[in-house]
Structure 1
């Protein structure tokens, strides 16, 4: 069976590809080798799949259903592996293989077509927030995870380089919020890094489990900020979207014992950063939604 990457993955990785990056070209062969190395039986490639890596539904030698995931080196697969190993199935998908020379991830099988996003909005936010809380643990001693300061520092540099007259005021506000947030004291935890409703899938051993972390170490408000803007298209379409957003910030902050102003600040930074990045790669509609949302904060 040819293990070809879905179109969604090809498009997403093409937006961030650099000269000389041939990972996508070599992916089918790498996937075949990963399957053979583990003596797996392939069922199918998950379609449409995610935007960061190839997901293949497989079975182990004993017929146990599992998932084989391959992501490019720039997506830090070893960091994802380390985080999943540390969580050990608590709040997140379970890692079935402690180490792998080829960087592939062998994971327990979840119901990939059922995420908390399929629930009514209020219930979805509740279940997603509960899952996120379980992930916020102390990072392992001697960890090598990226920090919030390091990640947002790179993002801030890219934002400055891309800010034109139209978005400059929002970029300046977002950068100022980041500086203020990093200057303050906050409890440090291991964070999912890219958490949203679609990253919480239905499981068998527990109802909901997180997948696809891009782990980072820092304060919880940074992680929660991405959840605030979930279903942003619905928020923008609502005549009361701005007030709903402010209530959501308050409700999520209170339910997870996070400082409301710090959550608002990180929500602003992350929305502007995502909006500017979307403009940079030509996703104008996404950019407009994100930047309008950011303006409410």
Structure 2
């Protein structure tokens, strides 16, 4: 079996920038070792590299591959192991291909997660559909992913960036300070009053749903959590935020979207509104930390409309 050579494997610049910005301590060593690590995994799994996807994932090198024995196409995902990515194989194992991409093989080290996945149509995300149709498909799929928690799981609960002690303070516009305060108080109250816990995708939006052969659409890239359904649905409520923010009557449009999503999935409207506020502010803080100020302002405007 011919071994893959590291020279064929190029780490996308976008991935290098994202990991360097979000995980500066781990980035230099992990990125330097990544091509050789991918080559080793190709050999271990009996795979041939077709191409590395650019940009790929925000914490992962993603490559199209095929199996040497039968030429079956697949996807190899090699991720920096973080609290967000550590439980991805656990969730995929629980779903077993029902509503999500099928996990074919998993290998974990203290710093890296290596997943071999079925090949989906990466060029056709759910975002390619018109918004009403995309939302209909998304809610149907998300409902299938909300399963009882696996026995003896160690999935974390939601940890909003606005929660006390969640991390270093970030510079935010003065006018956004009341939003941060409200989001922190809301997160604390919602966490304390939750009455249900399910397996959650954690990062479910139109970009993380792809067209597939064995089903119309399948979810990818979970950041699994144990929590209430309204938390997961809140991320979907924020999808295509730029479309809503750019439309007239933003508060009314936001209220209408929340009402429709809550009714479609039988989720408490007030809790959905609260978690949507929290997650909008969280996304704004993440964008600020990465230097993407226009994106941060977009999510803060959405939060303000709530």
What TM-score do you get using the length of structure 2 for normalisation? 0.91
Q: 1:62 aligns with which of 40, 60, 70?
A: 70
Q: Decide which of 278, 285, 288 is 1:279's aligned counterpart.
A: 288
Counterpart Cα distance in 2 of 1:111 and 1:183 = 40
Alpha-carbon shift at residue 62 of structure 1 (Å): 1.2
CA apart distance, 1:153 = 6.6
**Distance in 2 between the 1:154 and 1:244 partners?**
25
CA spacing shift, 1:113–1:152, aligned 2, 3 Å: same
**2:94 aligned with 1:86:** yes
The CA deviation string for residues 172-209 of structure 1, in whole angstroms up to 9 with x for no partner, is: 11011112111213211000011110100001111110
The Cα of 1:78 is off from its aligned counterpart by 4.1
**Aligned mates of 2:32, 2:9 — CA distance in 1:** 12
Report deviation, 1:283. 0.8
Aligned pair partner of 2:209 in 200, 211, 217: 200
Q: Are 1:174 and 2:187 matched, yes or no?
A: no
In the other structure, the counterpart of 2:4 is none
Question: Please, what TM-score do these two structures have when normalized by structure 1?
Answer: 0.94
1:28 alignment counterpart? 35
Q: Does 1:123 align with 2:123?
A: no
Structure 1, unmatched stretches of 5+, are none
Contact 1:190 1:215 (8 Å CA) reproduced: yes
Contact 2:105 2:116 in 1 (8 A): yes
Instruction: Give the whole-Å Cα distance in 2 for the aligned partners of 1:160 and 1:168.
Output: 15
CA distance in 2: counterparts of 1:258 and 1:89, whole angstroms: 25
Gaps of at least 5 residues in structure 2 are 1-6
Q: CA deviation at 1:51?
A: 1.5
Higher strand share: 2
Q: Deviations for 1:149-183, whole angstroms, at most 9, x for unmatched residues?
A: xx237865347722653321000110111121112
Q: 1:273: Cα distance to partner?
A: 1.4
2:141 and 2:261 mapped to 1: Cα distance? 13
| Whole-angstrom CA distance in 2 between matches of 1:224 and 1:206 | 22
**Structure 2 match to 1:136:** 146
Do 1:159 and 1:171's aligned partners in 2 also have CA atoms closer than 8 Å?
no
